[in-house]
């Protein structure tokens, strides 16, 4: 894939000085004509050419008309191919021969169709790679780069701003334009990646991480070509540059990860792996175009370190709905590991200062949060009251963000006062504590709302949207531990229980004594030294649910009971090996397993174990290898994590010990990507854990690279 090899970079593509549109036309409805006009009107200051052998003059003063690329007589940074798929391979060869820097391919009908179409795509890649020429597409709707004056899309009027939109869908881009305009945000760039045969999302993210005109990156992705390494590198570059990335993943429920014979494969859908990748990089996952827009409006305005909010509204109903939105489940965000909102608890001094401002007849909560200003003497009489209350709250060290809710901007008789209030809130937002506003008039954008947005304050139309988007922007705590190095050793493809146990011990994982026996003679030697009470179970690798078939016998008191139990199992399962181990005390049962995603590589999964592994898919995934701190965070993100600390009469577990186990298993996942290894159940205790059962199997498939990429 092009992103996995050294390349000439993206300068000729994203900051071209000479653009040639091949297939330009006099017909204003044709794509080749429209992009010439849109780039002309976008303020492009370089040389613009329209290439068409059948037209002597396109009639565009801003573009020179030539019959062929060769007639330009000089270097071309970017060739835009507005020609059908059948003509594209020959044009790629022509561009390569002339030393063109980059090519934008609009036509569809290549690798996505397979067969000869895929072969043509591969040839184009080979030609481009040999010439050091970059390819965007095929099947791209084009690109817009505001700072370069480039709009090689048929859509004009794209709202300008600080968001770089990278998308596999032109329709998503158009929808985003309209929603962004309503939300008061805009775009520094929009790039349609198409089939990603060369330039892909990861490289583009890394580019815009260093772009001074871009403050945040929005990504709509359905899939990637080749491995996911470049995508993860792009996420990391954005994180290093402190630029938030908001990702809408299309096709989250299209299919599960490749089936393997452990529970892990069934529980680790590709959507969960994507979420783990985004969480690991601090990116924000959303579920809809509206969510994407809302979060972008917030992250380009507000980045609080924590989520303790003071709510100030101009109506009782708004106050009640704000409490529900901020403290209820709707604000939890798309990923388990995002931060969360809560109601701040103002100090006594703050409460006293607010009491002096709140109208006498206004309702008061004991903590003075929320603050309701809807009675006589409230905001309808004095709009600046909102700003004064906000300033008092912002001075409190226990407050992270100020949330204004209600009808701000909707009082035409006091619009001058609301404008003054907006200016004061902007000053507060830019100097003290972040402010975010919900207003029923957000979409109408009256003058007070425009003043807020121009000053950098996000304004959303509903409190639910505000709370959901704000919660997603709150960062989670990052572990300080360093990531352990990856290791690699050889391994057999499928392991019986004894060899699986040896594999785990080699990676520092504590296991109880486990011995596999094939007959009574071997059992006799083991019975003499076994720990009692003992457990006996069938050790046939073809049986994954031993308890379901009656293949487990617990609490065997002595050697005689062990031999008798073995006789019974061998009568039911002739010739099957049996495993002898201590019968373990009850505790909290977990599953810890490894898996391998076709795009992103090895991961470790933790969730409910034992008989609940398949009935309750409460799992968390971390990309491998992970640190103990990351493992602990994954463990505590589970829905039933409250039981780990002694809730509802349960015994607390040794979280640090289980985290060490998860981290060790993650290193095993890196060392043996060809295997899926699972410990289930792992029984967690107040003073450690015990692995009660193991299973390992070969991972199906050996080559996950997608065909057709450069």
E strands of 156-241, at which residues?
160-167, 187-192, 216-221
Between CA 307 and CA 471 the distance in angstroms is 7
Tell whether the model's pLDDT for residue 579 goes beyond 50.
Answer: yes
CATH at residue 541: 3.30.1490.20
Dihedral sign, Cα of residue 87, residue 93, residue 96, residue 102: positive
Looking at the structure, tell me whether residues 672 and 609 fall in a common domain.
yes
Looking at the structure, tell me whether residues 398 and 348 fall in a common domain.
yes
Q: Which residues pair with 144 in a beta bridge?
A: 151, 190
Q: Is residue 451 part of a domain?
A: yes
Q: Is residue 222 part of a domain?
A: yes
Q: Is residue 489 part of a domain?
A: no
Looking at the structure, tell me whether residues 289 and 317 fall in a common domain.
no
CATH at residue 406: 3.40.50.261
Cβ neighbors of 492 (< 8 A, separation 6 or more) are 499
Looking at the structure, tell me whether residues 289 and 164 fall in a common domain.
yes
Q: What percent of the chain has pLDDT over 90?
A: 72
Looking at the structure, tell me whether residues 13 and 128 fall in a common domain.
yes
Looking at the structure, tell me whether residues 184 and 37 fall in a common domain.
no
Note the pLDDT of residue 703: 44
When pLDDT is averaged across residues 234-253 and rounded to a whole number, the result is 91
3-state helix, strand, coil in the chain (%, to 5): 40, 20, 40
Tell whether the model's pLDDT for residue 488 goes beyond 50.
Answer: no
Note the pLDDT of residue 705: 40
Cα 475 from chain centroid?
13
When pLDDT is averaged across residues 504-516 and rounded to a whole number, the result is 93
Taking the alpha carbons at both ends of the chain, their separation in whole angstroms is: 4
Determine contact, residues 154/38, Cβ cutoff 8 Å: yes
Q: Which residues pair with 381 in a beta bridge?
A: none
* Final residue belonging to a domain, choices 560, 582, 604: 582
Cβ neighbors of 707 (< 8 A, separation 6 or more) are 111, 118, 122
Looking at the structure, tell me whether residues 70 and 26 fall in a common domain.
yes
CATH at residue 74: 3.40.50.720
Q: Is residue 530 part of a domain?
A: yes
Q: What percent of the chain has pLDDT over 70?
A: 89
CATH at residue 598: 3.30.470.20
Q: Which residue has the tokens 């992270």?
A: 400
Note the pLDDT of residue 155: 92
When pLDDT is averaged across residues 42-55 and rounded to a whole number, the result is 95
Looking at the structure, tell me whether residues 57 and 130 fall in a common domain.
yes
Which one of 7-21, 215-229, 385-399, 528-542 scores highest in mean pLDDT? 385-399
Q: Is residue 283 part of a domain?
A: yes
When pLDDT is averaged across residues 49-72 and rounded to a whole number, the result is 94
Render pLDDT for 157-210 as a digit per residue (tens, 0 to 9).
999 999 999 999 999 999 999 999 999 999 999 999 998 999 999 999 999 999
Looking at the structure, tell me whether residues 541 and 455 fall in a common domain.
no
Number of structural domains in the chain: 5
Looking at the structure, tell me whether residues 294 and 156 fall in a common domain.
yes
Lowest mean pLDDT among 115-124, 468-477, 578-587: 468-477
Tell whether the model's pLDDT for residue 295 goes beyond 50.
Answer: yes
| Residue 618: pLDDT band with limits 50, 70, 90 | confident
- Domain range enclosing 106: 2-139
Question: With helix as H, strand as E and coil as C, how does 495-553 read?
Answer: CCHHHHHHHHHHCCCCCCCCEEECCHHHHHHHHCCCCCCEEEEECCCCCCCCHHHCCEE
When pLDDT is averaged across residues 607-617 and rounded to a whole number, the result is 71
Render pLDDT for 327-374 as a digit per residue (tens, 0 to 9).
876 444 444 444 578 999 999 999 999 999 999 988 888 899 999 998
Structure tokens at 567: 């006789």
Note the pLDDT of residue 494: 52
Q: Is residue 500 part of a domain?
A: no
Tell me the three state secondary structure of residue 18.
Answer: strand
Render pLDDT for 23-32 as a digit per residue (tens, 0 to 9).
999 999 999 9
Q: Is residue 112 part of a domain?
A: yes
* Final residue belonging to a domain, choices 582, 597, 632: 582
Tell whether the model's pLDDT for residue 465 goes beyond 80.
Answer: yes
Q: Is residue 482 part of a domain?
A: no
DSSP label of 149: T
Cα 235 from chain centroid?
9
Between CA 219 and CA 168 the distance in angstroms is 9
Element (H, E) at 588: strand 588-597
Buried b (16+ CB within 10 A) or exposed e, 511-529: beebbbbeeeebbeebbee
Tell whether the model's pLDDT for residue 438 goes beyond 90.
Answer: yes
Looking at the structure, tell me whether residues 158 and 295 fall in a common domain.
yes
* Final residue belonging to a domain, choices 559, 582, 605: 582
Between CA 685 and CA 96 the distance in angstroms is 65
When pLDDT is averaged across residues 313-334 and rounded to a whole number, the result is 78
Looking at the structure, tell me whether residues 54 and 125 fall in a common domain.
yes
Q: Which of 228, 226, 231 is nearest to 708 (CA)?
A: 226
């Amino acid at each position: 894939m092009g992103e996995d090899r050294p390349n000439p970079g993206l300068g000729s593509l994203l900051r071209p000085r000479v653009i040639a549109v091949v297939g330009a036309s006099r017909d204003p409805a044709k794509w080749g004509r429209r992009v010439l006009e849109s780039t002309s009107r976008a303020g492009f200051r370089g040389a613009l050419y329209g290439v068409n052998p059948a037209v002597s003059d396109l009639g565009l003063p801003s573009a020179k008309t030539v019959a062929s690329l060769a007639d330009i007589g000089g270097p071309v940074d970017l060739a835009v191919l507005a020609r059908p798929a059948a003509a594209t391979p020959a044009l790629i060869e022509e561009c390569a021969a002339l030393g063109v820097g980059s090519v934008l391919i609009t036509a569809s009908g290549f690798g996505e169709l397979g067969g000869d179409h895929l072969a043509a795509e591969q040839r184009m890649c080979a030609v481009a790679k040999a010439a050091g020429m970059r390819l965007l597409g095929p099947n791209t709707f084009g690109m817009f780069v505001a700072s370069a004056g480039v709009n090689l899309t048929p859509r004009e009027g794209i709202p300008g701003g600080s968001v770089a939109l990278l998308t596999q869908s032109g329709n998503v881009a158009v929808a985003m334009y309209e929603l962004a305009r309503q939300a008061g945000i805009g775009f520094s760039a929009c790039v349609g990646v198409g089939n990603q045969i060369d330039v892909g999302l990861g490289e583009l993210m890394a580019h815009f991480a260093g772009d001074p005109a871009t403050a945040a990156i929005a990504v709509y992705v359905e899939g990637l070509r080749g491995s996911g390494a470049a995508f993860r590198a792009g996420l990391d570059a954005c994180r290093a540059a402190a630029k938030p990335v908001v990702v809408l993943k299309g096709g989250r429920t299209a299919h599960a990860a490749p089936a393997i014979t452990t529970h892990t494969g069934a529980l680790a859908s590709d959507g969960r792996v994507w979420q783990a990748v985004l969480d690991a990089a601090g990116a924000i996952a959303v579920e809809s175009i509206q969510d994407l827009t809302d979060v972008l409006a917030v992250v380009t305005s507000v980045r609080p370190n924590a989520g303790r909010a003071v709510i100030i509204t101009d109506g009782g109903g708004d106050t009640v709905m704000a409490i529900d939105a901020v403290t209820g489940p709707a604000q939890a965000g798309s990923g388990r590991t995002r931060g969360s909102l809560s109601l701040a608890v103002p100090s006594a001094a703050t409460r006293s200062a607010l009491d002096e401002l709140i109208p006498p007849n206004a309702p008061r909560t004991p903590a003075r949060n929320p603050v309701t200003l809807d009675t006589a003497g409230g905001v309808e009489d004095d709009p600046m009251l909102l700003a004064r209350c906000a300033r008092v709250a912002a001075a409190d060290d226990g407050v992270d963000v100020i949330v204004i809710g209600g009808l701000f901007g909707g009082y035409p008789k006091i619009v001058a006062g609301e404008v003054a209030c907006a200016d004061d809130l902007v000053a507060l937002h830019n100097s003290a504590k972040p402010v975010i506003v919900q207003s029923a008039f957000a979409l109408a954008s009256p003058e007070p709302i425009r003043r807020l947005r121009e000053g950098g304050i996000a304004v959303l139309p509903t409190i639910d949207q505000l709370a959901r988007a704000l919660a997603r922007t709150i960062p989670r705590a990052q572990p300080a531990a360093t990531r352990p190095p990856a290791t690699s050793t050889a391994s057999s493809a499928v392991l019986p229980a004894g060899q699986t146990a040896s594999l785990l011990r080699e990676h520092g994982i504590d296991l109880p004594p486990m011995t596999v026996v094939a007959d009574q003679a071997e059992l006799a030697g083991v019975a003499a030294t076994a720990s009692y009470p003992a457990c006996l179970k069938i050790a046939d690798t073809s049986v994954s649910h031993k308890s379901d078939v009656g293949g487990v016998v617990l609490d065997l008191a002595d050697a005689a009971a062990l031999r008798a139990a073995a006789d019974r199992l061998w009568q039911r399962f002739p010739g099957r090996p049996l495993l002898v181990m201590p019968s373990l005390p009850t505790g909290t049962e977990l599953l810890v397993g490894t898996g391998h995603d076709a795009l992103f590589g090895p991961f470790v999964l933790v969730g409910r174990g034992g008989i609940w592994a398949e009935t309750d898919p409460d799992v968390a995934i971390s990309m491998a290898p992970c640190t103990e701190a990351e493992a602990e965070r994954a463990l505590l993100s589970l829905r039933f994590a409250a039981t780990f600390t002694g809730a509802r009469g349960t015994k607390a577990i040794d979280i640090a010990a289980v985290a060490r186990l998860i981290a060790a298993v993650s290193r095993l996942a890196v060392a043996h990507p060809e295997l899926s290894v699972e410990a289930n159940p792992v029984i967690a205790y107040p003073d450690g854990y015990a692995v009660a059962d193991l299973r390992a199997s070969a991972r199906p498939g050996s080559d996950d690279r997608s065909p057709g990429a450069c």
